Structure 1
Amino acid sequence: MSTKTLLVVLAAGALLAGCGGQVGQNDNSGNGATPANKNLELVLGVKNEPFYISLQCGAQAAAKAAGYTINTQAPDQFDPTLQGPIVTALGAKKPAGLLIAPTDDKTMAPQMKQIKDSGTKVVEVDTALQDTSIAASSISSDNTKGGELAAQTMAKLTSGKTGSVLVLDTKAGTSTTAARAKGFEEELKKVAPNLKSAGIQFTDNEPSVAAQKVTAAISSTPDLIGVFATNLNSGEGAATGLRSGGKVGQVQLVGFDASPSEVEGLKSGAFQALIAQDPGTIGKAGVEQAIAAIEGKSVQRNISAPLIALTKDDMTTKSEFFYKTKC
Structure 2
Amino acid sequence: MTKLKTVVAMAAASALFLAACGSGDSSGSGGSYKLSFVQGVTGDAFYITMGCAVQEEAKKEGATVDIQGPQKFDPTQQTPVLQSVVSSRPDAILIAPTDVSAMQRPIEQATKQNIKVVLVDTTLNDPSIAASAIASDNVGGGKAAFEAIKQLAPQGGKVLVVSVQPGISTTDARAKGFQDAVKADSKFTDLGVQYSQNEPQKAAQIVTAALQKDPDIVGIFAANLFSAEGSATGVRQANKQDQVKIVGFDAGPDQVKALQDGTVQALVAQQPGKIGQVGVQQAIKALKGEKTETKVQTGFTIVTKDNLDSPEGKAALYKSSC
CA distance in 2, matches of 1:277, 1:86: 25
Q: Which amino acid aligns with 2:228?
A: G
1:125 to 120, 127, 132: 120
| Partner in structure 2 of residue 277 of structure 1 | 270
Q: 1:221 aligns to what?
A: 214
Q: Deviations over 1:215-261 (max 9, x none)?
A: 00110002211100000100000000001000113100000000101
Q: CA deviation at 1:32?
A: 4.1
Shift of 1:153: 1.1
Q: Which runs of 5+ in 1 are unaligned?
A: 12-25
Letter in 1 for 2:265: Q
TM-fit CA distance, 1:301: 0.8
Q: How far, CA to CA, are the matches of 1:223 and 1:35 in structure 2?
A: 65
Answering whether residue 252 of structure 2 is matched by residue 249 of structure 1, we say no
Q: Is the 8 A contact 1:37 1:95 kept in 2?
A: no
Equivalences for 1:102-181 in 2 at 5 Å?
102-159=97-154, 161-181=155-175
The answer to whether residue 3 in structure 2 is matched with residue 4 in structure 1 is no
- Distance (whole Å) between structure 1 residues aligned to residue 70 and residue 305 of structure 2: 33
Please name the residue that 1:288 is paired with: 281
Written as runs of structure 1 = structure 2, the 5 A alignment for 1:1-327 is 1-9=4-12, 27-28=22-23, 32=27, 34=29, 36=31, 38-159=33-154, 161-190=155-184, 192-317=185-310, 318-327=313-322
| Percent sequence identity over aligned pairs | 41
Corresponding position of 2:18: none
The residue type paired with residue 225 of structure 1 is V
Superposed displacement of residue 29, structure 1:
7.5
The CA deviation at 1:264 is 1.1
Where does structure 1 differ by over 6 angstroms across 4 or more consecutive aligned residues?
none
The TM-score normalised by the length of structure 1 is: 0.92
Query: In 2, are the aligned partners of 1:122 and 1:290 still within 8 Å (CA)?
Result: yes
In 1, Cα distance between the equivalents of 2:76 and 2:244?
A: 36
Aligned residues: 311
Note the aligned Cα RMSD (angstroms): 1.7
Relative to 1, partners in 2 of residues 1:9 and 1:244: Cα closer, same or farther, differing over 3 Å?
farther
Gap runs ≥5 in structure 2: 15-20
Structure with the bigger RCO (C-alpha within 8 Å, sep 6+) is 2
Contact 1:152 1:188 in 2 (8 A): no
Secondary structure of 2:278 counterpart: helix
Name the CA distance, whole Å, in 2 between partners of 1:204 and 1:274. 20
Instruction: Decide whether aligned partners of structure 1 residues 10 and 183 sit closer, same or farther in structure 2, where only a CA change above 3 A counts.
Output: farther
AA matched with 1:306: G
TM-score calculated relative to the size of structure 2: 0.93
> Which one-letter code corresponds to 2:148 in the other structure?
T
How far residue 31 of structure 1 moved from its aligned partner, in angstroms, is 6.3
* Letter of the 1:256 counterpart: F
Please give the per-residue CA displacement for 1:93-136, whole angstroms capped at 9, x wherever unaligned: 21100000000001011110111111100000000001122111
Cα distance, 1:197–1:30 mapped onto 2, change above 3 Å: farther
Answer yes or no: is the 8 Å Cα contact 2:46–2:252 preserved in 1.
yes
Q: Once the 2 structures are TM-superposed, how far is the Cα of residue 305 of structure 1 from its aligned partner?
A: 1.7
- Quote how far apart the aligned CAs of 1:89 are: 2.0
Tell me if the contact between 2:22 and 2:115 (Cα under 8 Å) persists in the aligned partners.
Answer: no
